[in-house]
Amino acid sequence: MRHLMSPLDFSVEELDQLLNLANDIEANPKKYAHACDGKKLATLFYEPSTRTRLSFEAAMMNLGGNVLGFSSADSSSASKGESVADTIRMVACYADICAMRHPKEGAPLVASLHSPIPVINAGDGGHQHPTQTLTDLLTIRTLKGRLNNLTIGLCGDLKFGRTVHSLINALVRYTGIRFILISPEELRVPSYIREDVLRKKNIEFEEVERLEDALPKLDLLYMTRVQKERFFNEEDYVRMKDFYILDRKKMELAPKDMLVLHPLPRVNEISVEVDDDPRAVYFKQAQFGVYARMALILTLLEVKVC
């Protein structure tokens, strides 16, 4: 039995197969409509979510399965003091697979150690968000046609943004990847990412503050929200929150085929006037999230569809 804690839990070949499966699901949805008949997915969300939880639920429903779960810690027995280890043992009596989001780094890993059913990390604190990475890889591979030889700008809150941490971890396994890390000084990537991932693997990267300087060089721009909930004080958040605002004027500096991704939710970092630009693919990306999660559920439940 397998869990998904980090995008590195799959080899590059396994990821390729999973993305192929997601593309096939998109092209032939009917073929998969009963693949999980009679199966149940539990969504255990101790932290707010719209896309991740609903796309997991939609994914399981599209496969013919059912869903159950909770969408905040307050509405679960965590508020009575139940441990994650006990919760997962009990949930395993009701469901075949579970997706867990938790504010504490490592909580889904703890759950997986006590779980007789596959556990998927649906975001743990500022650490990892592997299913967003599957979504991002599927979006990039499908719309750009490749996952190698790309110059990728990651912009915004690179310190607390778990989607960025997972995406960097996943992309360094492909060839010809170059990063431009665009953030204010205080929100630069954590040193473990800089040293243990980028430097260790000899990945070409630069850290800059001005988005305008990076834009002309990019194949992809991955915008992120400043992670309000991870700041220790409100003042710092208020100072940082509007540091970057991508607007139509800045988009003029970007190549004609540069894609703009964003895991969403967006606050102010992308002006709504950019939404009509054909290069803005963040809503398509949210749609790809459903196919990626369908492929993941089938893979972890070892369901084969011929």
- Residue number, 35 or 286, with CB nearest to ligand NCD: 286
Minimum CB separation from ligand NCD for residue 267, in Å? Answer: 9
Nearer to ligand NCD, 229 or 273 (CB): 229
Which residue number, 163 or 299, has a Cβ lying nearer to ligand NCD? 163
CB 178 within 8 A of CB 241: no
Backbone torsions φ then ψ of 158, nearest 5 degrees: -85, -10
| Catalytic residue check, 250 | no
- In this structure, the strands spanning 40-45 and 220-223 are unpaired
Query: Of these residues, 51, 178, 188, 217, which one is catalytic?
Result: 51
Taking the least distance from each CB to ligand NCD, the nearer of 47 and 219 is 47
Q: Provide, rounded to whole angstroms, the least separation between the CB of residue 13 and ligand NCD.
A: 26
Quick check: is 199 catalytic?
A: no
- Catalytic site includes residue 51: yes
- Rounded Cα distance between 121 and 278, Å, is 32
| 294 touches 27 (CB < 8 A) | no
Catalytic residue from among 52, 131, 151, 163: 52
**Minimum distance of ligand NCD from residue 116's CB (angstroms):** 27
| Percent helix, strand and coil across the chain, each to the nearest 5 | 45, 15, 40
Place of tokens 């939880």: 53
Single out the residue of 115, 100, 119, 127 nearest to residue 46, CA to CA.
100
* 87 tagged catalytic: no
Smallest gap from Cβ 129 to ligand NCD, in A, equals: 5
| Residue 225 CB, nearest approach to ligand NCD (Å) | 4
Of 51 and 114, nearer to ligand NCD (C-beta) is 51
What's phi and psi for 215, nearest 5 deg?
A: -45, -50
Catalytic residue among 3, 102, 129, 159: 129
- Cα–Cα distance measured from residue 285 to residue 94, given in angstroms and rounded to the nearest whole number: 31
Amino acid occupying residue 181: L
Residues that bind ligand NCD (CB under 6 A): 51-52, 123, 129, 132, 162-163, 225, 263-265
DSSP single-letter state for residue 8 = G
Q: Is 279 a catalytic residue?
A: no
Question: Could you list the active site residues?
Answer: 51-52, 80, 101, 129
